[in-house]
Amino acid sequence: MEKERNQKEKKLDGYWAETKRCLRLLKVFAKVSLMSQLEYRANFAAGVAVETGWMLIKLLYVAVVYRVGADIGVLTPDHILLFVGIYTLMTGFYMLYYGNFTSISRMVREGELDLYLVKPVSLQFLITMRRLDAALLLPDFVAGVIMIALGWARAGLPVTVVSVTGFLFFTVCGALLTYSLFLLPHLLCFWIVATRGVAEMTSAVWDFNNMPQLIYGKWMQRIGTFLLPVFVITNFPGLFLMGELSPLLMAWGVAAPILFFGITRIVWKRAVRNYSSASS
């Protein structure tokens, strides 16, 4: 019994040590990625400009809502500004590593995974986090934070330790869920090789989040919350602030990232076993 417990503790220590190592490496990847991007100043600036453009388009939705001035159920235009802010911030986080997801298909097709498979670090971590695009994160992060702050203040939502902590907690859960949920479709490439269609479909699904889930019908909300939980990502932090998140949904908000991360790990391991490289 004690031996078993010791083994479990040892295993946990191993996981913790590996997590710490990955976080250390993440810092190095961020640094190297930024250095690499700064080699091409014009491209870096263009990346910022393009992402700013996309963000401004999203802002148009908010502008329309304010111009109409109508409430949608319990949502005032200020609440909508808050939700769009969370969506923008999450898009920034997602865009930070999105390029890694889309390159998995090419890496599988051209056998580029070979030299990553021989590194003594989690392959999933290495492949999905090795290049981080600060140019895409920057505008979304700044605009997202501003919109959240404005929406929060104008909607008169509470600023307490509980509300801020809860909001940040569900934001982190959402960011973790994004990683797992949107990595899954890209893993199909290990079986079907080319996944451009799948990548485009996931982008379309992501955009379901550019408005609060409350504007959709009941069934749509259920599907988007439990079956394909994209709504959990950007809606739960806002719903928590508004006091609209039931205990069941709170539990699901915590469970979904863990569940989907587990699924991603299982699929990843099977996918890599299926890797057949490419002839040299």
The residue ranges that bind other proteins (CB under 8 A) are 21, 24-25, 28-29, 32, 35-36, 39-40, 111-115, 117-121, 126, 273, 275-277, 279-280
Residue with the two structure tokens 């959709």:
216
Nearest distance in Å: CB 11, other proteins: 15
Which one, 82 or 113, has the nearer CB to other proteins? 113
CA distance 39 to 29: 15
**Tokens standing for residue 200:** 């485009």
Q: Which is nearer to other proteins, 24 or 196 (CB)?
A: 24
* Contact yes or no for 232/250 (Cβ under 8 A): no
Q: Whose structure tokens read 């492949």? A: 127
- Diameter of the chain by CA atoms? 67
Amino acid at 235: N
CB-side exposure of 149: number of CA atoms within 13 Å?
6
Q: How far is the CB of 21 from other proteins (least distance, A)?
A: 8
The helix-helix angle for 134-154 and 2-38 (nearest 10°) equals: 100
The tokens describing 96, both together, are 């930070």
Name the minimum Å distance from CB 40 to other proteins. 7
Minimum distance from CB of 10 to other proteins (Å)? 16
Element (H, E) at 73: none
**Is the CB of 261 or the CB of 275 nearer to other proteins?**
275
Pick the closer one to other proteins by CB: 106 or 222: 106
Least distance (Å) from other proteins to the CB of residue 273? 7
Q: Which is nearer to other proteins, 67 or 119 (CB)?
A: 119
Q: Using CA of residue 250, residue 138, residue 155, residue 63, what is the dihedral sign? A: negative
